[in-house]
Amino acid sequence: MLEFDPHVLDEKPVPPPEEFSKRAHVRSLDEYRKMYERAERDPEGFWGEQAKLLDWFQAPTKVLEWDSPHAKWFSDGKLNVAHNCLDRHLEKNHNKPALIWEGEDGATLQFTYAELHERVCRFANALLSIGVKPGECVTVYLPMVPELPIAMLACARIGALHSVIFGGFSATALVDRIADSQSKVLITADGGYRRGKIVPLKDTADAALKNCPTIAKSIVVKRTGHDVDWHDGRDRWWHEIEKAASKDCPAEPFDSEHPLYVLYTSGTTGKPKGVLHTSAGYLLQTTWTTRLVFDLRDDDVYWCTADIGWVTGHSYIVYGPLSNGATIVMYEGAPDQPTKDRFWEIVERYKVTIFYSSATAVRAFMSWGMEWIDKHDISSLRLLGTVGEPINPAAWKWYFEAIGKNRCPIVDTWWQTETGAIMISPLPGATPTKPGSATLPLPGIIARVVNMKNEPVPPGETGYLTIQKPWPSMLRTIYGDDERYAREYWQKIPGVYFAGDAAQCDKDGYIWVLGRVDDVIKVAGHRLSSMEIESALVSHPTVAEAAVVARPDEIKGEVIVCFVTLRSGHSPSIELRGLLMEHVSTTIGTIARPADVRFCDILPKTRSGKIMRRLLRELAHKGGISGDTTTLEDMGVIERIAKTQGKEEE
Ligand code: WTA
C-alpha cells in the first residue's frame, strides 16, 4: 500500500479545461450531481434508461433482480454482444476504421467496421466448424495481434465464453487456468514480438497442453513465421480454417445473463479465480462509461495501451469502444522499442486523441525525459487517462503538463476485474480533479469508505472501499466456486461489496484509493497474488517455507520481495538466489519475477503461526539487513521486532 501524505487532501482542485467542458457530454459539476442524484433516487429507472444505448433483439422489461449476492440485470432482454460491437455500426460506419494495429516490428494493419465484421463472422463459423457450442469456454493465449479481439468477438457472436490468458504467463499458469475452465479449444500463435525478441507462445502452449486433457483442438495464428512443433490432429492454422469458413454468420440472440467471459485474476489464495462476466449488464456499463468518462466522439482516435490479457483491454480496447463505433489503436509491443519515443510516434502517426495508460507507464516516461516527447507532434491528444494503481500526485502533474500540455483533462479511473467497468472517475468536462484522487463515483455507483461495521469513516481516516448497491457490470460469480464469490466479496462486510482496497474520502467526498488490504500485489499495474508466488517458491526442491511481500517502487508502484527458509542441506548463495528468481518467473511468468529473494533461518510468525507480513514488509521496505548480499537476515533483529509486533497482530 502507498505511503500516504494526507496534506494532498487539501490541495485545490484543478477545474476541467474550459475549452474541453464547452463541448463535453457532461459539462459541469452541477450536471454530474443531478445525474448522480437521479440515479441514486431511482437506480432501476436510471439504468433502464441507459440500456437504450444497446441494440436489443428483445428489449428488457425488467432491470434488476437482486437476491444478494446474486444479481440479474435486464433478465428478459435478448441481444448479441458482437452484433452490438460490429453489425449495428455497418450502416453508418461501414468504411470507418474500427481497428488500427501496429506490430512491434513495424507491421501495420487497418480494418474498417465492415472488414472486422467479416473477419469475426468467418472465425465464428470456423469455431462452429470445430464443434464449439454456446456456453463452452475457449481459452485464448495470444500476443497483441488483431486475431485476439477477433477471437473474442467470434466467441461472443456464437455464445461461447472466452478465457483470455495474458501472453506473459507461463505453462504452469496456463495449465491451472485451462483445468479450471475445462476448455476444449485453445487459440494461440507461433509467437509474438516483445522488446525485439520472439516470445515463443506455441512452445509454452505445447508444454502446457501435455497436462491439459480437456483440450482437443488448438488453433495457431502465424505471426512470426518461425518453425514450430506441430501436432497433427490437434493443431490447425488459423488462416486455413478461417479461409475455409463462410463469411455469413447471423448473430443469434442470447439472454442478457448469458455468460460472456471468464477472466482469471489473482486473489488471496494460491488458486487464481475465474471472474465471470455476463452479456448485457457488462456491455452496457462498458459502453456507457467509454462514452462518458472518455467523452467519446465520432471522430476520436482512441488508444488504450493495456494488454487485452487483462481486464482493461477487455473492457476498454474491445467491448466499450467497439460498442460505441470508435476507432481504436492497438499496439503489440513495448513502449521503448526500438526507442523510448515509440508511443509518441504512434500518437503522432495516427493522430491519437484519447490516450489511456497506466501510472507505471507515466512514471517510466517521466524518468526517460522530455527529449523523447519533444521529438513528436502530439497535439492531437485531447484527453488522458490512467488506471490500475494509485498515481502519485507528482506523476499526475507531470502527465498533465508534459503530455497534456495543460490542456487535456486526466481521468484517473478506479475499477477492478470484478467490477467490469469504471466505477470511480472524473467526468472530464465536469469534475474538478485533485492529482492522485480518482475523485467521485459515477452516477449509479454507490461507493463508500467504511469500517468493518459498514459505518462511513470520517474524512481523512483510512477505511475500506465498498460498493453498496449492485451495478450492471459486476461479476456474477467466481467460475465454479460460488461459495468463494459470496465469502470474498459480500460477507467480509455483510451485504456490501468489499473491494479489497484501502481508501480515504476527503471533505469534498473525493475518494483516494491507497492500495490493497489483502495479499494482492500490483507490479506495474499487473495483479499478482503473494500466495501464488509463495506456492511457486515452495515447489522448488531447496525451499522449505516462503513469504512474499510488496516493496514500494518508484516506477512500478510495487515490486516483489521474497523471504525464504531453506531445507536442510542447502545454504544461501548468489546462485541460489538467481535460481529462485528464475524459478518463479518460469512457474508463473516473467511479470512475477521477484526483485529480491532473501534468506532467513525462520520466518517470523505470531504465536498462532501466522506469518507476520507487516514485519516482512517493513524489512523489505527498509532494504533490510542483508540487502543484496546473501547472508541470512539478522534473526536477532527479526525476533525482537516480532516479539513486540506479534502481540499486536494476534
Ligand atoms: C487498483 C484493473 C488506485 C486497485 C482495472 C484495485 C487502482 C486493483 C486504480 C484492481 C486507480 C485500479 N487508483 N488504484 N485509479 N485502478 N486500482 O483487477 O487496488 O487488475 O483493487 O483491475 O487495481 O486491479 P485489476
Domain of residue 229, CATH code: 3.40.50.980
**CA nearest to 187, candidates 236, 226, 248:** 236
Q: What percent of the chain has pLDDT over 70?
A: 94
The pLDDT value recorded for residue 628 is 40
Whether residue 323 is contained in a domain is answered as: no
Pocket test for ligand 1, best of 389, 514, 518 (most atoms within 8 A of CB): 389
| Angle subtended at Cα 44 by Cα 41 and Cα 48, rounded to the nearest 5 degrees | 125
Q: Is the pLDDT of residue 3 over 70?
A: no
| Domain end point (choices 209, 225, 255) | 255
For the stretch 95-119, pLDDT in tens is 999 999 999 999 999 999 999 999 9
Q: How far is CA 209 from the centre of its chain?
A: 25
* Residue 266 pLDDT level (bands cut at 50, 70, 90): confident
Count of domains observed in the chain: 2
- The counts of H helices and E strands in the chain are 22, 30
* Residue 649 pLDDT level (bands cut at 50, 70, 90): very low
| Domain end point (choices 232, 255, 278) | 255
The pLDDT value recorded for residue 646 is 45
The CA distance from 542 to 537, in Å, is 9
Whether residue 69 is contained in a domain is answered as: no
Q: How far is CA 182 from the centre of its chain?
A: 23
Q: Which atom of ligand 1 is nearest to the CA of 416?
A: 22
Q: Among 69-73, 173-177, 363-367, 632-636, whose mean pLDDT is lowest?
A: 632-636
The answer to whether 333 and 325 have CB atoms below 8 angstroms apart is: no
For the stretch 206-229, pLDDT in tens is 999 999 999 999 999 999 999 999
Q: Which atom of ligand 1 is nearest to the CA of 417?
A: 18
Whether residue 206 is contained in a domain is answered as: yes
Structural domain boundaries, residue 247: 113-255
Q: Which atom of ligand 1 is nearest to the CA of 520?
A: 19
Q: Is the pLDDT of residue 636 over 70?
A: no
pTM of the model: 0.94
Q: Is the pLDDT of residue 432 over 50?
A: yes
| Amino acid sitting at position 583 | H
The pLDDT value recorded for residue 613 is 83
Whether residue 213 is contained in a domain is answered as: yes
Q: 527: Cβ below 6 Å to ligand 1? A: yes
Q: How far is the CA of 526 from the centre of ligand 1 (A)?
A: 9
Q: 241: Cβ below 6 Å to ligand 1? A: no
Q: 311: Cβ below 6 Å to ligand 1? A: yes
For the stretch 461-512, pLDDT in tens is 999 999 999 999 999 999 999 999 999 999 999 999 999 999 999 999 999 9
Over residues 155-168, mean pLDDT: 97
Q: 236: Cβ below 6 Å to ligand 1? A: no
Strand partners, 465: 449
The answer to whether 124 and 223 have CB atoms below 8 angstroms apart is: no
The pLDDT value recorded for residue 47 is 98
Cell numbers of 552, please? 514500494
Whether residue 324 is contained in a domain is answered as: no
Residue burial 482-519, b: 16+ Cβ < 10 Å; e: rest: eebbeebbbebbeebbbbbbbbbbbeeebbbbbbbbbb
Q: Is the pLDDT of residue 377 over 80?
A: yes
For the stretch 508-530, pLDDT in tens is 999 999 999 988 999 999 999 99
Q: 356: Cβ below 6 Å to ligand 1? A: no
The CA distance from 329 to 97, in Å, is 10
Whether residue 632 is contained in a domain is answered as: yes
Phi-psi region of 99 (alpha: psi -120 to 50; beta: other; left: phi over 0): beta
Q: How far is the CA of 491 from the centre of ligand 1 (A)?
A: 21
For the stretch 353-371, pLDDT in tens is 999 999 999 999 999 999 9
- Going by CA atoms, what residue is nearest to atom 5 of ligand 1? 416
Cell numbers 512443433 correspond to what residue?
A: 229
Strand partners, 259: 278
| Domain end point (choices 223, 255, 287) | 255
Q: Is the pLDDT of residue 441 over 70?
A: yes
CA distances from 640 to 618, 634, 635 (A): 14, 10, 8
Q: How far is the CA of 414 from the centre of ligand 1 (A)?
A: 6
Q: 441: Cβ below 6 Å to ligand 1? A: no
Whether residue 247 is contained in a domain is answered as: yes
Q: Which atom of ligand 1 is nearest to the CA of 418?
A: 18
Over residues 324-328, mean pLDDT: 98
The CA distance from 80 to 252, in Å, is 6
* Residue 648 pLDDT level (bands cut at 50, 70, 90): very low
Over residues 359-384, mean pLDDT: 98
In sequence order, which ranges of 77-112 are alpha helices (DSSP H)?
A: 81-85, 90-93
Over residues 322-346, mean pLDDT: 98
- Going by CA atoms, what residue is nearest to atom 7 of ligand 1? 389
Over residues 533-541, mean pLDDT: 95
- Going by CA atoms, what residue is nearest to atom 6 of ligand 1? 416
| Amino acid sitting at position 384 | L
Strand partners, 304: 356
The answer to whether 204 and 239 have CB atoms below 8 angstroms apart is: no
- Going by CA atoms, what residue is nearest to atom 3 of ligand 1? 390
Q: How far is the CA of 631 from the centre of ligand 1 (A)?
A: 36
Enclosing H/E stretch for 31: helix 29-41
For the stretch 579-631, pLDDT in tens is 999 999 999 999 999 999 999 888 888 777 788 888 888 888 875 544 444 44
The pLDDT value recorded for residue 132 is 98
Whether residue 238 is contained in a domain is answered as: yes
- Going by CA atoms, what residue is nearest to atom 11 of ligand 1? 414
Q: Which atom of ligand 1 is nearest to the CA of 526?
A: 20
Domain CATH number, residue 609:
3.30.300.30
Q: Is the pLDDT of residue 535 over 70?
A: yes
